[in-house]
Structure 1
Amino acid sequence: MWWFQQGLSFLPSALLIWTAAAFIFSYITAITLHHVDPVLPYISDTGTVAPEKCLFGAMLNIAAVLCAATIYVRYKQVHALNPEENCIIRLNKAGLVLGLLSCLGLSVVANFQKTTFFAVHVCGAILTFGMGSLYMFVQTILSYQMQPKIHGKQVFWIRLLLVIWCGVSALIMLTCSSLLYSSSFGTDIVQKLHWNPEDKGYALHMITAAAEWTMSFSFFGFFLTYIRDFQKISLRVEANLHGLTLYDTAPCPVNNERTRLLSRDI
């Protein structure tokens, strides 16, 4: 059995591969058509102009669904491993909410381009990166509380380093973007897709774009740590029938159908 066939490990794997493909294909298309500069464009800039914006939006919508599924499976796994730990249960529920909000933000970013709906796009980015960062932080706390009983200490330290990486990138991106989009650099900066070194705010733009990419890489790394954990979980779906037909009759006992959901038990 291949590693991605064990448990539900294919889920975070598919999320990472699909999201990376969305970024790469949109970037290549935008560069080929000269819609953005090849050196450090914003991620969303590579999905601003047709036809790449169609590809960007469609692929990131699917990525948001894969991400939501991954976050839900992680929630169920932590809950099953710690059924009586009240603190962990509360943190786990908070992580689920934060993660799903981040997925919603990803879909908003994909479908509302900054050149058309700037305010909506920014709200989506805040949900994606802000709630996503908090989700990573909560999961790192959970990893700390579950080690060494549930998993090794190295998992916690890896996730902690990724959270620090994410936090530093977020701070740099927030600071530089706030300065960049201030009125001192003009009002047309929102529509700007091509930058020259002599342009006002060029250095801030490059730093902001680099921080955005590195922050995204920290997300990739964090979900990469889920692959091994997901090798040890599978989910089932159960259909509870209230009768032998679909007519309005009194309920009668029947045999319920139980099947595996997506994976076999390990």
Structure 2
Amino acid sequence: MCNGLHIFPICVVLVSLTTFCVTYILSVWRKDVNPVLPYISDTGTTPYESCLFSFFLNLSAIGAFCTMYIRYRWVRLVSHEERSLRCYNILGLLLGWLSALGLGLVANFQETNLKGVHMTGAAMTIGCGILYMYLQTVLSYKMADTLSLSRVRLLMAIFCTLTATSFLIATVVAKSLRSSTTDTLHWETSEKGYAAHVTAAVSEWLTCIVFLLFFTTFVQDFKRTTASLSFHINTIAEGEGIKV
């Protein structure tokens, strides 16, 4: 029997947030980015920060993958395989895993090297992640979870939707206004689109932080959950061999 499953969502949150903070401090200290809230990916695109960024976000992606699977199995047990919840649960697991896969792409393909793959991963992480939040909220209400917890999940999902929309709009505006000579890692306050860039960066940080904190809403449920692992070995009786 294995207890302590709540450590998975806690580790996802702590490892991810610590990674963002450490790479931000390092990138500012090494003057790889401007200190006024760069994009999260900007802080992990240049060596040596990129090495830490990739390694620890890979751990976060694996942790998120495990957390989402545990949540899926938890819902199955609590709902007693109720048909009306089964589709929501399976769809939530698939979207969650796509979000975790997107985080892996963000970690391993830096924006300055393979921007297309990096942006695809970011879209998967945020887009599928927000849909995952809504599906888990729906499951909470349908399973009659604690009303306050269900409301918290709903508010977090709505907040991420608003900040992600703000990020998308502000990013498009900043890109359309900036000049061809703009160093995207070192925006200057005098450049056109600077305000939109800062707005996009703030929105991105808020979206990612709240999305990560969403995992903490699983902690209490996982604390009262145990998992078991069993091995079965089929032995060959003495005298039996491989017949040719």
Task: Give the TM-score taking structure 1 as reference length.
Answer: 0.85
- Correspondent of 2:69 among 65, 68, 72: 72
Q: Which residue is equivalent to 1:168?
A: 162
- Correspondent of 2:22 among 15, 25, 28: 25
Alpha-carbon contact 2:23-2:43 (below 8 Å) kept: yes
2:7 is equivalent to residue 10 of structure 1: yes
In structure 1, C-alpha distance between the alignment counterparts of 2:14 and 2:104, rounded to whole Å: 17
In structure 1, C-alpha distance between the alignment counterparts of 2:44 and 2:212, rounded to whole Å: 19
State the one-letter code of the partner of 2:75.
V
In structure 2, C-alpha distance between the alignment counterparts of 1:66 and 1:97, rounded to whole Å: 15
- Correspondent of 1:185 among 178, 184, 194: 178
2:244 is equivalent to residue 237 of structure 1: no
2:187 is equivalent to residue 195 of structure 1: yes
2:133 is equivalent to residue 136 of structure 1: yes
Alpha-carbon contact 2:33-2:185 (below 8 Å) kept: yes
User: Deviation at 1:181?
Assistant: 2.6
SS in 2 for 1:235: coil
User: Deviation at 1:10?
Assistant: 1.1
Structure 1, gaps ≥5 residues long: 251-266
- Correspondent of 1:218 among 210, 213, 235: 210
- Correspondent of 2:122 among 122, 125, 132: 125
Quick one: percent identity of the two aligned structures? 37
Change (3 A) 1:31 1:84: same
SS in 2 for 1:181: helix
What CA deviation, in whole Å up to 9, does each residue of 1:47-71 have, x standing for no partner? 0111000110111001100110101
Task: Give the TM-score taking structure 2 as reference length.
Answer: 0.93
RMSD of aligned residue pairs (Cα, Å): 1.9
- Which protein, 1 or 2, shows the higher relative CO under an 8 Å CA cutoff with sep ≥ 6? 2
Change (3 A) 1:248 1:227: farther
1:28-39 to 2 correspondences below 5 Å: 28-39=25-36
User: Deviation at 1:173?
Assistant: 0.8
State the one-letter code of the partner of 2:101.
L
In structure 2, C-alpha distance between the alignment counterparts of 1:110 and 1:173, rounded to whole Å: 20
State the one-letter code of the partner of 1:229.
D
In structure 2, C-alpha distance between the alignment counterparts of 1:145 and 1:90, rounded to whole Å: 13
SS in 2 for 1:198: coil
Q: Is the deviation greater in 234-243 or in 137-146?
A: 234-243
Alpha-carbon contact 1:83-1:89 (below 8 Å) kept: no
State the one-letter code of the partner of 2:155.
L
SS in 2 for 1:237: coil
In structure 2, C-alpha distance between the alignment counterparts of 1:79 and 1:188, rounded to whole Å: 54
What CA deviation, in whole Å up to 9, does each residue of 1:111-148 have, x standing for no partner? 1111121111110100110011111111011011111x
Change (3 A) 1:84 1:249: farther
User: Deviation at 1:165?
Assistant: 0.7
User: Deviation at 1:228?
Assistant: 0.9
